[in-house]
Amino acid sequence: MTASALTRPRPRPRGASRKAKTWSARVAWFVLVWVAAIAFFLPVLWMILTAFKPETAAYSYPPKWTFSPTLSEFRSVFSRGIAPFLENSLFATLVSTLLVLVLALPAAYALSIKPVGKWRDSLFFFISTKMLPIVAAIVPIYIVARDVHLLDNVYALVLLYAAMNLPIAVWMLRSFMLEVPGEVLEAARIDGANLFRELTRVIAPIIMPGIAASALICIIFAWNEFFFAVNLTSTVAATMPVFLVGFITSEGLFWAQLSAAATVASVPIIIIGWIAQKQLVRGLSMGALK
Amino acid sequence: MTVIEQVTRRAQARRVTPRAPSTRQRWTRRLPLLPALIYMIVITQIPFIVTLWYSLQNWNLTSNARAKFTGLSNYGSVFTNANYRSSLLVSVEMTAVAVIVSMVLAVALALLLNQKVLGRGVARTLLITPFLIMPVASALLWKTTMLDPTYGLVNWLLSPFGVHHVAWLSTHPLGSIIIVLIWRWTPFMTLIVLAGLQGQPLDVLEAARVDGAGAFVIFRRMIFPHLRPYIELGTLLGSIYIVNTFDEVYSMTQGGPGTSTTNMPYYLYEQAFQAYNIGGAAALGVVTVIIVMIIATFALRLIASVFRFEEAVG
């Protein structure tokens, strides 16, 4: 950095004029921040508004911002048979997340608290799998799933979603475990706790917020996953995104219903994401950023 | 690890500490890692090796003919077939435009969100929502309620500017998908850039300001150099994710009109699940992996450098 650029004398605004300037700058920043936030949020807001409209009000020009809200579209979404899709999504998401935690907790331990030799290589192996394009693996996955009768089976999704989220969870949990004070672990070891006890009784309670955040991020990604779901399931094991694309053939007629279904599919995850937003960066950058 | 290596390592270890961990001790250390490691190798690495094997065969699921070994001919068609090449170009255009625009917006938004402004937390929360919403849901809604020529919200918002009833998806199909991608990925990049901004001590910037440095100079000379690794990380991770775009293409255009929005993942999907051309799809998959691995190498290197920094500090 050149010093001259920073030390060049410049007339500074003083007193009242300076105050007025900072005040107007603050208003400008405020307006800009909120315009940007609302612009990005608008499609989501519009989805929620349209979900509460009667179908006829969804098709109007100019678009209707005021209307008498109705739950009828939500009712028709449920009578259209959304329930099994919701159940499959819930099952695949929760069971895969559980599997991730069971595998990731000991792995993160072996990469942080009692590191194995070459732990760096293992750690980088985990994220490198996250960077491989899933599409490239779909052909053999499909053929193997077909041959072992896991096509249209929700357990196929469980196994794949666990593999999809495991690297993120290992990285996140590891970064939390690094923050566990060494004395606590020493004390546990002197007490003769074995690995299982050390993990469940000593470490897990301390890093509970980290476990919760990792689980929430796994839930978000598993719930929203579409590519495996559309290629490996058809009727029995199909999840929410597959239910939604079922509207593609008929969407010309049912905007309000589509919005209601999309709201049901998205709002729980949006709320989870809002709760976990502080940890989101950590998860998305594979633990590189805090 | 070779035997010799093991022996020398053990010898070296002995020199440093009198009691080197025995083989058994080392395996008990490794034990907690093994389930996760084996799981990942089985589920993610083996399919890629199998893909490589399939890519050398002429195998179509619709015919009864057995798979036939054909060497590299599937790769030949990846580069000579016009549809393959066009999908490659669509992928490049989609990724490059979406990543660059998202990153520029992300830097601007992160600078905005770093200001002390009333309701900043709420604004940030609203801003990250596009990244949380189910991509299929948002893509379908963009296609209908947002971009529809007659009733769409976008045309209504643009009508004061002289835009009337534009059929976005048929006149600008790729552009429409890119807009949706920018909308979805800008929040992600904003979060990464914001994490970088918040790591910069404010008093240094304040000192520069007191010394009379203008906002532009402060940004160019102080903020931007500090942000650079974060911008690079966001760009690389964003590229890796956006190259794999499938949900938006499937939900909004199904690759059309014609092949104008068929990117590599969607073309591969068509080859595998509509044409049942297993060999061709596998070859395309391998090419995709190579392209992504080139980007990923840079990303991994960058993560490693950020990571070493983190180790040094903490």
Q: Name the residue with higher pLDDT: A198 or B261.
A: B261
B192 touches chain A (CB under 8 A): yes
CB < 8 Å to B112, chain A: 29, 32-33, 36
CB atoms within 10 A of CB A131: 21
pLDDT for position B187:
92
What are the residues whose beta carbons fall under 8 Å from the beta carbon of B237, sequence distance 6 or more? Answer: A284, A285, B188, B192, B299
What DSSP state is assigned to residue B277?
A: B
The answer to whether residue B215 neighbours chain A at the CB level (below 8 Å) is no
Task: Please tell me the distance from the alpha carbon of residue B121 to that of residue B62, in angstroms, as a whole number.
Answer: 55
Q: DSSP secondary-structure letter at B22?
A: P
Say how many domains are in chain B: 1
- Is residue B232 less than 8 Å (CB to CB) from chain A? no
Residue B54 falls inside a structural domain: no
Place of tokens 């006149």: B171
Q: How far apart are CA A42 and CA B145, in angstroms?
A: 12
The answer to whether the peptide bond before residue A62 is cis (omega within 30 degrees of 0) is: yes
- CATH code of residue B233: 1.10.3720.10
Say if residues A99 and A89 touch (Cβ distance below 8 Å): no
Give a yes or no: residue B129 inside a domain: yes
In this prediction, residue A58 carries a pLDDT of 81
Tell me the C-alpha distance between A198 and A192, whole Å.
9
Structural domain boundaries enclosing B266: 69-313
Distance CA A261, CA A247 (A): 10
pLDDT at B27 over 60: yes
Q: Do the Cβ atoms of A131 and B272 come within 8 Å?
A: no
Shortest Cα distance from A235 to chain B (angstroms)?
A: 16
Residue B69 is given by DSSP the state E
Average pLDDT over residues B179-195: 92
CA distance A15 to chain B (A): 15
Q: Which residues of B touch A167 (CB under 8 A)?
A: 40
Q: Which of A107, A231, A178 is nearest to B272 (CA)?
A: A231
Q: Does the beta-carbon distance from B117 to A10 stay under 8 Å?
A: no
Dist CA A133 CA A138 (whole Å): 9
Say whether residue A231 is in contact with chain B using an 8 A CB cutoff: yes
Query: Can you give the pLDDT at residue A287?
Result: 61
What pLDDT digit, counting tens, does each position of B140-155 carry?
Answer: 999 988 998 888 889 8
The chain-wide mean pLDDT, for chain B, equals 82
Highest mean pLDDT among A40-44, A231-235, B19-23, B60-64: A40-44
Q: How far apart are CA A155 and CA A88, in angstroms?
A: 10
Q: What is the pLDDT at residue A176?
A: 86
- Chain A residues within an 8 Å CB radius of B208: 6
Task: Indicate whether B48 belongs to any domain.
Answer: no
Across the range B205-221, mean pLDDT stands at 82
For residues A279 and B231, what is the distance between their CA atoms, to the nearest angstrom? 19
Query: In angstroms, rounded to a whole number, what is the distance separating the alpha carbons of residues B188 and B202?
Result: 23
Q: What angle do CA A5, A6, A10 make, to 5 degrees?
A: 90
Tell me whether residue B175 is in a domain. yes
Give the residue from B188, B178, B96, B91 showing the smallest Cα distance to B139: B178
Facing A281 at nearest CB: one of B127, B191, B282: B191
Q: What is the token pair recorded at B254?
A: 């199904």
Nearest to B33 among A38, A43, A122 (CB): A122
pLDDT in tens, B273-294: 887 888 888 888 888 888 878 8
* B29: Cα separation from own chain's centroid: 34
Structure tokens at A194: 């074995």
Cα(A85)–Cα(A241) distance, integer angstroms: 9
Whether residue B244 is contained in a domain is answered as yes
Q: For residue B68, give the H/E element and its range.
A: strand B68-69
What's the pLDDT score for residue B20? Answer: 63
For residue B55, the model assigns a pLDDT of 82
On the question of pLDDT at B3 being above 50, the answer is: no
Residue B108 lies in a domain: yes
CB atoms A285 and B195 under 8 Å: yes
Is the bond preceding B149 in cis, omega lying within 30 degrees of 0? no
**pLDDT beneath 50, residues of chain A:** 1-8, 13
Which residues from B are below 8 Å from A248, CB to CB? 140, 251, 254
Greater pLDDT, B4 or B194:
B194
Record: contact B134-A290, CB cut-off 8 A: no
Whether the CB-CB separation of B288 and A133 falls below 8 Å is answered with yes
**CA dihedral in degrees (A213, A218, A221, A226; nearest 10)?**
-160
- Does B260 fall in a domain? yes
Would you state the pLDDT for residue B257?
Answer: 87
Reading the block at residue B104, the tokens are 């520029």
- State the virtual CA torsion across B93, B96, B102, B108 in degrees, nearest 10: -130
| Upper half-sphere CA count for residue A129 (Cβ side, 13 Å) | 31
Q: Phi and psi of B58, rounded to 5°?
A: -95, 105
Q: Is B59 on the interface with A (CB under 8 A)?
A: no
Q: Do B40 and A37 touch (CB under 8 A)?
A: no
Which SS3 state, helix, strand or coil, does residue B160 take?
helix
Q: Which residue has the higher pLDDT, B281 or B253?
A: B253
Closest Cβ–Cβ partner in B36, B191, B300 for A104: B36
Measured distance CA(A89)–CA(A240) in Å, rounded: 6
> How confident is the model at residue B44, as a pLDDT?
85
CA dist A249 and A243 (Å) reads 12
Tokens 């008990």 belong to B28
Least Cα distance to A140 among B78, B274, B267, B54 occurs for B54
CB of A259 within 8 Å of any CB in chain B?
yes
Q: pLDDT at position A47, please?
A: 93
Nearest Cα neighbor of A225 from B138, B135, B131 is: B135
Q: What is the sign of the dihedral through the CA atoms of A234, A263, B138 and B124?
A: negative
Q: What is the CA radius of gyration of chain A?
A: 25
CB atoms inside a 10 Å sphere around CB B200: 13
Determine the Cα–Cα distance for residues B279 and B62; give it in Å rounded to an integer: 12
State the pLDDT confidence band at B31, using cuts at 50, 70 and 90: confident
The answer to whether B133 contacts A266, with C-beta atoms less than 8 Å apart, is yes
Q: Read off the pLDDT band of B29 (50, 70, 90).
A: confident
d(CA B164, CA A159): 48
B163 in contact with A, Cβ within 8 Å? no
Provide, as residue numbers in chain B, all residues whose Cβ is less than 8 Å from the Cβ of A36: 109, 112, 123, 127
Determine which helix (DSSP H) or strand (DSSP E) holds B178, and give its type and residue range: helix B173-198
Of B141, B130, B135, B87, nearest to B247 (Cα)?
Answer: B135
Tokens of B49: 């090796």
Nearest to A227 among B246, B295, B304 (CB): B246
| The pLDDT of residue A52 | 92
Would you call A22 exposed, middle or buried from its count of C-beta atoms within 10 A (0-12, 13-18, 19+)?
A: exposed
Decide if B118 and A30 are in contact by the 8 Å CB cutoff.
Answer: yes
Tokens describing residue A129: 């799998």
The answer, for B32 touching chain A at a CB cutoff of 8 Å, is yes
Q: Which residues 270-299 of chain B have a CB within 8 Å of chain A?
A: 272-273, 278, 281-282, 285-286, 288-289, 292-293, 295-296, 299
B248 or A11, greater pLDDT: B248
C-alpha B253/C-alpha B186 separation (Å) is 22
ipTM of model: 0.83
Q: Is A112 an 8 Å CB contact of chain B?
A: no
Please report whether residue B8 resides in a domain: no
For residue B284, the model assigns a pLDDT of: 83
Q: How far apart are CA A137 and CA A144, in angstroms?
A: 11
Please give the share of chain B, as a percent, with pLDDT higher than 70. 89
Residues B53-70, mean pLDDT to the nearest whole number = 75
Angle of helix B173-198 versus helix B82-113 axis, rounded to 10:
40
Residue B173 contacts A where some CB pair is shorter than 8 Å: no
Domains in chain A, start-ordered, CATH in brackets?
17-74 (no CATH), 80-284 (1.10.3720.10)
- B141, B190, B228, B239: best mutation site toward chain A, by most A Cβ within 10 Å? B141
